[in-house]
């Protein structure tokens, strides 16, 4: 079947290669056959190194089929039935296989590492479906994984090389990820019921060894790996090995059509979580949404652990909204988890290009969505950030109706997103942020459900480390700061719990590679200088002056040839004047010690009395 | 039985006229407001809180904000609102504009509303509730996202005055008091003055925080309200007129001193005030014992916090 003049595809059976994995799948689901006419049909059998193990384990007749005459002869020579057949159009192929079977019952079928070579692969899958449908048998199919990290990380740096065989065999006509394989199978009416993928951490595409995206010790590799491993579990899958059954044809094409490529989405999904404890606040939030100047958004109200009465109340509030807002709002019930779960639920339901959190006690200004849209136009794909003001509030009850009373003025949060300041604590309430859907739906970042507070900060930072933040200085939301006895996350969790969550988050930051925005080097330097303090600063100046005096002194300069010889003998290079600037007090002290004890300096003692010693 | 409110049998399901003065406003803002009013009216009528709601616009712009075809579309889209529209052909200001709109009104209550305000769905029920007391003369909705900082009683809602961004008052009382003092006030403080006259007549002004009205205002990056030049001028002018009308000549002198050395808007406001005084066009001072009017730190009530 696989016609490659440059290779024989004769791999032996191993329990951890595709043969072993395929057989493990079959034995997991099939018992040993007692029927004498039950066969296992192996399409694209090659040298059929699975045949002995398969017949022994399943008690079936082995029937191999391949387009390569040499391998068919070799299989027959080992005493197994094998047929020469080229897979072309659907109907003749199906008829030919039926003739080969000659009325025998198909107990199972396999097509291993073959589909990717077939120009008419979809037809062959339909043939497989027809045969296993008639016999109510399972089939095992395997294909190489084009989304193996070795391929992806090489391609990230522009490297793509076909090889004689392997993941990028030059005779491959189709390439598969897990998702595209499932789509292809479903289009042919085949449905995955189990899998047993072959995993190889370093594939045949792991070259060259020191490529920064591939080499395990390189920062770039660590960053890419952290991202890739978060997305799904296929980064180290060499071959997908799946068991399928015949079922309905999905109606989708095996490839993406134009509609799939450009899904119509609202600009923004607003996720509002509520416990139903403050319906009066939710009414305010919904009224503010009804006032938005830019309406390309949807609202997902996630009711968390609501009683029946509370749920009815929330649904009533949604139903009371103006028609257009009601039509873009949906209620989702979540009965599990802590306060973080509704965020994951809401984000997973979100259809928007960007997703924001509007808690039921937040109040956005009329240009809240519009401002996000303006930032997105300028910096697509970054986290969008505007500014909130904090306002202290209390709850009042007047004429039998609960209402919110502001008791203080507005305190704005910082106008720009400062990554370094955010490494210490959060300065961005949720309603000031809109996340590109990709961080949740593609990178698969999730709100950490082990956290009971500050889950938004943790998520923000993990997303910001990767996609960055684009800011607008517009104030677009009021963040309510509850005072008095009103229940809120501040009152629900004690100080110890807040501190514990804070520590957990800081530890998480330390485990992650971080991409800092431009300008961070200066910010860090300034922070470092500030920590030196005035006393350390004068000491720094003094040490700097002394080191500089030595390095620019006549005696040091005249001894340069000697140092060159030392360097030639493998001694470390002496420091250059321009490097002094970046040294700390400790480093300058060490350097001064080294300079004074150096041969150059000692040999010229008699001429450098003028230099600080 | 109360004099104006819902306590009377004939007013158990009152008729409310919503009235707004338009001045060069974008139609999209008006539509946004109508969408919310329509839903609020539907709900309120369905719940039996009121029997009818009508919306009347008076347009003080130099050319109509709403043309005939647009008006027809709006009437079709919002049948529950019994929409009517009058082009004034001149800039009457808010006080005279509202008086004009109230002239032929037959409704039990007038809801004075800024035309771009989006109301909460249960607005009418919440605002009618305090009229169960015969002593209620005016009810104000809470504005969001920038809540007005003036003090109100956190148990009863009683307050010194009500802004008319969204305020409800019995039509009969409005007419008895002569409506807004349009001869004195053009744009600002007509609501403070009307509120004080409501209280002077023995009624209460109630603030209802559960009744929510979204008024599209923005903050500066320092978190401060951003008044326009016109707002600075008219509020300066109104401040002088309020102090004069409510018998605080000492404040008139004090403000005059400030404004004389103030910005261009303030100096212009003072000049206008002095011209009116010279031509005898100032209102007759009232409340000589200062039982009603409050002037505290440049405001017309105690404020809970600076804004």
Determine contact, residues B230/A422, Cβ cutoff 8 Å: no
Which residues, 6 or more positions from B105, have their beta carbon under 8 angstroms from its beta carbon? B17, B19, B56, B171
* Distance separating alpha carbons of residues A306 and A611, to the nearest angstrom: 79
Distance (Å) from the alpha carbon of B280 to chain A's nearest alpha carbon: 41
Q: Is residue B3 assigned to a domain?
A: no
In the block, tokens 């094409």 appear at A253
Regarding whether B240 and B139 lie in a shared domain, the answer is no
Residues of B with CB below 8 A from A405's CB?
Answer: 147, 154, 209
Token pair, residue A574, equals: 């002496």
Which of B155, B206, B221 lies at the smallest CB-CB distance from A473? B221
Of the candidates A437, A281, A187, the residue with the CA atom closest to the CA atom of residue B145 = A281
Regarding whether B171 and B286 lie in a shared domain, the answer is no
Say if residue B26's pLDDT is above 80: yes
What is the radius of gyration, based on Cα positions, of chain A? 34
Regarding whether B255 and B108 lie in a shared domain, the answer is no
Regarding whether B299 and B178 lie in a shared domain, the answer is no
**Residue of chain A minimizing CA distance to B222:** A412
**Residue of chain B minimizing CA distance to A365:** B145
Quote the DSSP letter at residue B55: E
CATH of the domain at B163: 3.90.550.60
Token pair, residue B97, equals: 């504009």
* Distance separating alpha carbons of residues A451 and A339, to the nearest angstrom: 9
User: Is there a cis peptide before residue A208, judged by omega within 30 degrees of 0?
Assistant: yes
Residue A481 pairs in a beta bridge with: A392
Strands B52-59 and B15-22, sheet pairing: parallel
- Return the H-helix or E-strand segment holding A273: strand A268-274
B208 touches chain A (CB under 8 A): yes
Strands A198-199 and A237-246, sheet pairing: antiparallel
B44 touches chain A (CB under 8 A): no
Question: What is the predicted pLDDT for the residue at A15?
Answer: 93
Residues of B with CB below 8 A from A407's CB?
Answer: 304-305
CB contact under 8 A, A406 and B304: yes
Domain count of chain B? 2
Distance (Å) from the alpha carbon of A372 to chain B's nearest alpha carbon: 15
Residues of A with CB below 8 A from B32's CB?
Answer: 290-291
Q: Is residue B219 assigned to a domain?
A: no
Regarding whether B152 and B232 lie in a shared domain, the answer is no
Residues of A with CB below 8 A from B209's CB?
Answer: 396, 398, 401, 403-405
Q: Which of B223, B302, B304, B306 to mutate to test the interface with A (most CBs of A within 10 A)?
A: B223
Query: What's the mean per-residue pLDDT of chain B?
Result: 93
Regarding whether B136 and B61 lie in a shared domain, the answer is yes
**Residue of chain A minimizing CA distance to B218:** A365
B34 touches chain A (CB under 8 A): no
Helix, strand, or coil here: A466?
helix
Regarding whether B206 and B107 lie in a shared domain, the answer is yes
- The Cα-based distances of A553 to A336, A574, A603, A610, A613 in angstroms read 73, 14, 14, 9, 12
Question: What is the predicted pLDDT for the residue at B9?
Answer: 43
Regarding whether B276 and B136 lie in a shared domain, the answer is no
Model ipTM value: 0.94
Q: Which of B136, B210, B224 to mutate to test the interface with A (most CBs of A within 10 A)?
A: B210
Question: What is the predicted pLDDT for the residue at A318?
Answer: 97
Mean pLDDT by 10 residues, chain A (613 residues): 64 92 97 87 95 95 95 96 92 95 96 94 96 97 98 98 95 96 97 98 96 96 94 97 96 87 93 95 97 98 96 97 97 94 97 96 96 98 97 94 94 93 94 97 96 94 96 96 73 80 92 89 84 72 88 80 63 70 80 84 67 44
Q: Is residue B2 assigned to a domain?
A: no
Regarding whether B301 and B256 lie in a shared domain, the answer is yes
Residues of B with CB below 8 A from A412's CB?
Answer: 219, 221-223
Regarding whether B164 and B78 lie in a shared domain, the answer is yes
Residues of B with CB below 8 A from A396's CB?
Answer: 154-155, 209
Where residue A399 falls (left for φ over 0; alpha for ψ -120 to 50; beta otherwise) is left
Regarding whether B236 and B179 lie in a shared domain, the answer is no
Distance (Å) from the alpha carbon of B228 to chain A's nearest alpha carbon: 17
Q: Is residue B21 assigned to a domain?
A: yes
Q: Is residue B1 assigned to a domain?
A: no
Regarding whether B257 and B192 lie in a shared domain, the answer is no
CB contact under 8 A, B209 and A291: no
Say if residue B152's pLDDT is above 90: yes
**Residue of chain B minimizing CA distance to A393:** B147
Distance (Å) from the alpha carbon of A325 to chain B's nearest alpha carbon: 10
Q: Is residue B33 assigned to a domain?
A: yes
Given B214, B246, B261, the domain boundary residue is B214
Which of B121, B214, B221 lies at the smallest CB-CB distance from A415? B221
User: Is there a cis peptide before residue A563, judged by omega within 30 degrees of 0?
Assistant: no
Of the candidates A504, A529, A507, the residue with the CA atom closest to the CA atom of residue A584 = A529
CA B117-B118-B121 angle, 5° bins: 140
* Exposed / middle / buried, residue B82 (Cβ in 10 Å: 0-12, 13-18, 19+): middle
CB contact under 8 A, A408 and B36: no
Q: Is residue B30 assigned to a domain?
A: yes
B27 touches chain A (CB under 8 A): no
Which of A402, A406, A411 lies at the smallest CB-CB distance from B147? A406
CB contact under 8 A, B305 and A408: yes
* Distance separating alpha carbons of residues A243 and A21, to the nearest angstrom: 11
CB contact under 8 A, B32 and A291: yes
Residues of A with CB below 8 A from B145's CB?
Answer: 288, 363-365, 477-478
B204-249 tens-digit pLDDT: 999 999 999 999 988 887 777 777 788 888 889 999 999 999 999 9
Residues of B with CB below 8 A from A389's CB?
Answer: 219, 223
Q: Which residue range is the domain that position B301 belongs to?
A: 224-307
Given B179, B214, B249, the domain boundary residue is B214
**Residue of chain B minimizing CA distance to A284:** B212
Distance (Å) from the alpha carbon of B157 to chain A's nearest alpha carbon: 6
* Distance separating alpha carbons of residues A416 and A357, to the nearest angstrom: 19
* Distance separating alpha carbons of residues B122 and A321, to the nearest angstrom: 10
Determine contact, residues A7/A165, Cβ cutoff 8 Å: yes
CA A585 to chain centre: 41
Distance (Å) from the alpha carbon of A330 to chain B's nearest alpha carbon: 18
B223 touches chain A (CB under 8 A): yes
Residues of B with CB below 8 A from A410's CB?
Answer: 219, 223-224, 307
Q: How many CB pairs under 8 A join A and B?
A: 133
Domains and CATH numbers, chain A: 18-145+164-199+238-246 (3.40.50.150), 268-511 (3.90.550.10), 520-607 (no CATH)
* Distance separating alpha carbons of residues A286 and B144, to the nearest angstrom: 12
Question: What is the predicted pLDDT for the residue at B244?
Answer: 97
Residues of B with CB below 8 A from A288's CB?
Answer: 144-145, 214
Q: Is residue B168 assigned to a domain?
A: yes
CB contact under 8 A, B218 and A365: yes
CA B31 to chain centre: 20
């Amino acid at each position: 079947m696989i016609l490659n003049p440059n290779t024989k595809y004769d791999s032996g059976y191993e329990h951890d290669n595709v043969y072993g994995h395929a057989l493990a799948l079959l034995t997991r689901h099939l018992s040993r056959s007692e029927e004498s006419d039950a066969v296992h049909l192996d399409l694209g059998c090659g040298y059929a190194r699975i045949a002995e193990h398969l017949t022994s384990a399943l008690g079936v007749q082995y029937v191999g089929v391949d387009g390569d005459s040499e391998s068919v002869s070799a299989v027959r020579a080992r005493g197994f039935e094998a047929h020469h057949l080229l897979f072309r159009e659907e109907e003749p192929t199906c008829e030919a296989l039926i003739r080969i079977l000659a009325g025998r019952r198909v107990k199972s079928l396999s097509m291993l590492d073959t589909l990717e070579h077939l120009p008419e692969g979809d037809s062959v899958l339909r043939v497989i479906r027809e045969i296993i449908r008639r016999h109510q048998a399972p089939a095992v199919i395997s294909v190489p994984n084009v989304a193996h990290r070795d391929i992806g990380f090489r391609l990230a740096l522009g490297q793509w090389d076909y090889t004689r065989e392997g993941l990028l065999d030059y005779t491959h006509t189709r390439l598969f990820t897990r998702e595209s394989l499932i789509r292809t199978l479903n289009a042919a009416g085949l449905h995955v019921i189990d899998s047993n993928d072959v995993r190889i951490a370093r594939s045949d595409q792991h070259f060259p060894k020191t490529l920064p995206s591939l080499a395990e010790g390189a920062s770039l590799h660590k960053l890419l790996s952290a991202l890739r491993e978060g997305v799904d579990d296929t980064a180290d899958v060499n071959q997908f090995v799946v068991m399928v059954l015949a079922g309905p044809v999905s109606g989708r094409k095996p490839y993406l059509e134009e509609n799939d490529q450009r899904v119509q989405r609202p600009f923004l999904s607003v996720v509002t979580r509520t416990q139903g404890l403050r319906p009066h606040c939710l009414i305010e939030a919904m009224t503010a949404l009804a006032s938005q100047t830019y309406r390309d958004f949807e609202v997902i109200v996630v009711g968390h652990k609501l009683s029946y009465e509370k749920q009815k109340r929330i649904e009533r509030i949604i139903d009371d909204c103006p028609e257009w807002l009601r039509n873009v709002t949906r209620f989702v019930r979540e009965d599990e988890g802590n306060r973080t779960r509704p965020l994951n639920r809401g984000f997973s339901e979100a259809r928007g290009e960007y997703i924001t959190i509007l808690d039921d006690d937040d109040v956005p200004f009329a240009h809240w969505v519009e401002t996000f849209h303006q930032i997105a136009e300028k910096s697509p794909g970054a986290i969008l950030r505007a500014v909130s003001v904090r306002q202290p509030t209390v709850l009042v009850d007047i004429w039998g109706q609960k209402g919110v009373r502001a008791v203080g003025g507005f305190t704005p949060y910082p106008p720009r997103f400062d990554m370094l300041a955010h490494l210490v604590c959060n300065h961005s309430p949720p309603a000031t942020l809109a996340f590109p859907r990709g961080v949740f739906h593609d990178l698969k970042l999730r709100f950490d459900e082990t956290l009971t507070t500050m889950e938004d900060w943790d998520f923000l930072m993990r997303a910001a480390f990767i996609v960055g933040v684009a800011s607008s200085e517009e104030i677009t939301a009021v963040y309510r700061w509850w005072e008095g006895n009103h229940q809120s996350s501040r009152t629900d969790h004690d100080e110890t719990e807040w501190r514990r969550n804070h520590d957990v988050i800081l530890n998480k930051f330390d485990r992650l590679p971080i991409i800092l925005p431009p300008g961070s080097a200066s910010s860090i330097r300034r922070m470092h200088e500030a920590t030196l303090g005035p006393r350390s600063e004068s000491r720094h100046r003094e040490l700097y002056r002394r080191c500089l005096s030595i390095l620019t002194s006549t005696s040091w300069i005249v001894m340069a040839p000697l140092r060159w010889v030392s360097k030639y003998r493998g001694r470390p290079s002496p420091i250059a004047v321009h490097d002094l600037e970046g040294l700390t007090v400790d480093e300058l002290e060490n350097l001064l010690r080294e300079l004074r004890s150096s041969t150059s300096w000692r040999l010229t003692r008699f001429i450098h009395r003028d230099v600080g010693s | 039985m109360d004099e104006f409110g819902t306590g009377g049998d004939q007013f158990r399901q009152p008729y409310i006229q919503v009235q707004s003065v338009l001045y060069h406003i974008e139609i999209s803002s008006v539509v946004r407001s109508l969408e919310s009013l329509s839903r609020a009216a539907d709900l309120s009528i369905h719940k039996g809180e009121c029997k009818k709601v009508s919306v009347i616009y008076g347009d003080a712009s130099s050319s109509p904000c709403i043309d005939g075809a647009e008006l027809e579309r709006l009437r079709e889209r919002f049948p529950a609102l019994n929409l009517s529209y009058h082009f004034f052909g001149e800039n009457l200001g808010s006080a005279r504009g509202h008086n004009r709109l109230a002239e032929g009104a037959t409704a039990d209550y007038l809801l004075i509303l800024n035309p771009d305000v989006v109301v909460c769905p249960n607005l009418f029920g919440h605002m009618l509730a305090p009229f169960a007391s015969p002593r209620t003369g005016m009810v104000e909705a809470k504005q969001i996202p920038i809540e007005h900082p003036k003090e109100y009683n956190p148990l009863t809602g009683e307050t010194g005055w009500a802004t008319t961004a969204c305020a409800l008052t019995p039509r009969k009382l409005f007419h008895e008091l002569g409506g807004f003092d349009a001869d004195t006030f053009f744009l600002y403080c007509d609501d403070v003055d009307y509120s004080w006259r409501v209280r002077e007549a023995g009624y209460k002004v109630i603030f209802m925080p559960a009744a929510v009205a979204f008024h599209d205002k923005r903050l500066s990056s320092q978190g401060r309200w951003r008044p326009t030049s016109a707002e600075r001028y008219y509020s300066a002018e109104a401040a002088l007129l309020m102090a004069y009308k409510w018998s605080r000549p000492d404040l008139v002198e004090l403000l005059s001193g400030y404004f004389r050395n103030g910005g261009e808007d303030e100096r212009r406001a003072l000049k206008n005030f002095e011209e009116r005084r010279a031509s005898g066009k100032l209102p007759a001072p009232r409340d000589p014992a200062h039982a009603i009017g409050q002037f505290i730190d440049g405001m017309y009530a105690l404020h809970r916090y600076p804004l």
